[in-house]
Each structure stands twice: as structure tokens, then as C-alpha cells.
Structure 1
């Protein structure tokens, strides 16, 4: 099997989704690590004209957009399957993936995580409390909806792991590093248990920020 190359910033939840998929598939891959800000370099813009991560490289084929990459991997590496055969479960999977992109990341994670984690750690900024407060109504709505969709099932669309978990969990897990997480999930313990369940999987453990940084330093 040919090697997959993932161009991403270690710690990016979008990049982590792709790495988790490759780990779950048992596929050979290499992380081509980018430093924060390097996604805007001419070299990376040639891969991704919008300067985002991740980008997948496979046998001369270049692909960006996390959802497209995840679906590609599930097609070229069909075992174990990460898309439900049942059409309604598959539709629910697609729904959760879009909720993750458009409501969990946009307006919630890209605000709260940046203000609490990325800005202070990488740019030396102080959290904008007003920006965080403005993000909280949407955060409450999306956390409540993800909790409702999960219900009492172990995974987002049923008894088996799917692309929905791979897309949404890295975002939610990153958000769990902020003090707002405790407030947001106070009435949604099923979502906390879901994150704990996924983070215990080998694919999640091996793609944590700490593990990726250790591998990057050793390379």
C-alpha cells in the first residue's frame, strides 16, 4: 500500500480528523508538519489556494477539505468502513459533519479556542472575554444539539464509529481544554462520556498534540 502524506499543523483538529482515519484504517502515512502560519506560504498555497489545512497527498493526487479527504479515505481504504450502510444513518453522519464544520467550528471553536488556547500560547495575546461571551449562545446551542443527536448511543450515528465522530470529536475535544467546556456540558454528560470514550481509542491517543509534537521532533 502506498504512503499517504498529510500536510497539516500538529494540533489542528481538522488535520487530526484525517490522521485518526488513517490510524483506524491501519494505513501507512506521514505527517508533513507545518508550523503555525506556514499554511500561508507560497509552497503550501500551491497545495491549497485558501491557505488552510489539511491537505492529503496520495500517489500524485492532491486533495484538500477535511470532509472530502475523509470520504476519499473511506473509499480507497474500505476496511473498516466508517460510513453506515443504512441510508438514514449515513444521512445523519453527513448532518453531524456539517454541524461540526458550520456551527461547532465556525463561531464557537474558532473563537473560544483561539482566545483561550492558541492566542495566548502561540501569539502571546490575552483572551478577549467579550468575544468569548458573544460566542457562548451559539456554543450552548450546538453542544445541546450534538448531545441530543448522540443520545445514549456510544457513537454519533449508532453502535459503530463513523466519519461523524472523526469530524466532530477533535473539535469538541479541543474545546474541552477551555474553562467554558464545563459550563457548556453541565447538562450534557453523554457528550463528556463520548469524548472520553473516543480519546481512549488508540487512534485518538496516537494523534494527540503531545504525540504529534514528539514525532515531529524525532523526525
Structure 2
């Protein structure tokens, strides 16, 4: 049975789910959601908080990206993307929560919104004051991500985990903005990790451009 992902092309959360399905080699289809439709009755029936992504698996519907990733890792057990070791699994969980609560909230949803989303989607100039206000928290987040990664290839050890698939789309956005020179570039391990992730077919086939093309064909 195939999966349906309701998402906006360009959403880093939606991309994490699509990349997960690619890593699993699972059949799926994209049901594109226009940004202006997030508060529509149709979408609110899928996600009462008006966000993406939403996963349909037969008659089972699920929202919240972390829940979706963990569900997919259970129903598609090969390759396993949750470490068997409890401590490594805990590090994976920790990194995923850093992504959602600290990298996205107050950092990505400010800096990336004003640098990438707003100019590209709405044609608006970045709010430089808002970006500057977000930078102290951003420095803390990137310093901690570099610390958590350490000398490992991936955030939970030597093999790919859910944490890497969740973090990579968000961190890649930062590599596109001027603030990367201060936030990410000074951390050689993060730079190397991002290049490693970008080389994976699952990330190459789920770029904003490729998902947009898929949405037009849907």
C-alpha cells in the first residue's frame, strides 16, 4: 500500500518525510498543498493546526513530522533508521527536538522566512531587524548542533538516523543565506555532514525544485 504526503513544496518538514520514504524505497504520491490553503476547511480537516506535512497510509492519517518519521520506521523496518542502542536513540531524539524547538522556532522561521521564503514566494524584502534579533539564538543552536555531532558521521553515530533526515532540510536552507558564514561555516563537522547528506539520493530527489515539479504533475 502506497503513502500519500500532503505538503507544500519547499517545506523542510515535508521534505524530511519525502526523503524518509525515498530512503525506504517506498511508493508514495505527493498531494500538494498551496501555502494559502493551510487554513482552509479542507486542510484543517487533515491537520487541525493548519500545518504540513500530513501522511495518509490507507485509511490511517497522521500529522506531526516526528510522529510520521517514527511511524514510517516501524511499518517500513528496512533499513532501520532508529538506533538499537538506547543512548544513541536518545541522542537521535534529542537532536530531533533541537531541530523543532530551537532551530526552527525563533531561528529558521525568522531567518529563513525573511531570507528565502518571503522573497521567493511573496516578493518581499527581508526584515533585517528581525533577522538580527534572531541571531543570538541561532548562534547557540548551531554551536550546540556542532557539539552534538562531534566527530561522528551522523547525529546518532556512524549510520543515518531520523535525526539526520529531519535536520538536513533545515540546515541546507541556512547554507543558502549570508548568515551561514557566521553560523554553519565555522563548524567543519557540520559542513562535512551537510555535504554528506546532500550527496544522498533521498535529498537530491526531494529538493524544492523537484518537489515543485512533482506537485505540478500531481
Q: Aligning the two structures, in what range does the TM-score lie when normalised by the shorter sequence?
A: over 0.9
User: In 2, distance between residues paired with 1:193 and 1:11?
Assistant: 23
Report the counterpart of residue 32 of structure 2 in structure 1: 33
Q: Where do 5+ consecutive residues of structure 1 fail to align?
A: none
Report the counterpart of residue 104 of structure 1 in structure 2: 103
3-state secondary structure, aligned to 2:182:
helix
Report the counterpart of residue 200 of structure 1 in structure 2: 199
Report how far residue 215 of structure 1 moved: 2.0
User: In 2, distance between residues paired with 1:15 and 1:38?
Assistant: 16
More moved, 168-177 vs 129-138: 168-177
User: In 2, distance between residues paired with 1:113 and 1:217?
Assistant: 24
Q: Which has the higher contact order (CA 8 A, sep 6+)?
A: 2
User: In 1, distance between residues paired with 2:120 and 2:184?
Assistant: 25
User: In 2, distance between residues paired with 1:72 and 1:127?
Assistant: 37
Report how far residue 183 of structure 1 moved: 1.6
Report the counterpart of residue 58 of structure 2 in structure 1: 59
| TM-score after normalising by structure 1 | 0.97
User: In 1, distance between residues paired with 2:147 and 2:123?
Assistant: 37
Q: Where do 5+ consecutive residues of structure 2 fail to align?
A: none
Matched, 1:189 2:188: yes
Report the counterpart of residue 168 of structure 2 in structure 1: 169
| TM-score after normalising by structure 2 | 0.98
Report how far residue 39 of structure 1 moved: 1.6
Report how far residue 200 of structure 1 moved: 0.7
User: In 1, distance between residues paired with 2:162 and 2:52?
Assistant: 18
Deviating beyond 3 angstroms after TM superposition, the runs of 4 or more aligned structure 1 residues are none
Report the counterpart of residue 142 of structure 1 in structure 2: 141
3-state secondary structure, aligned to 1:46:
helix
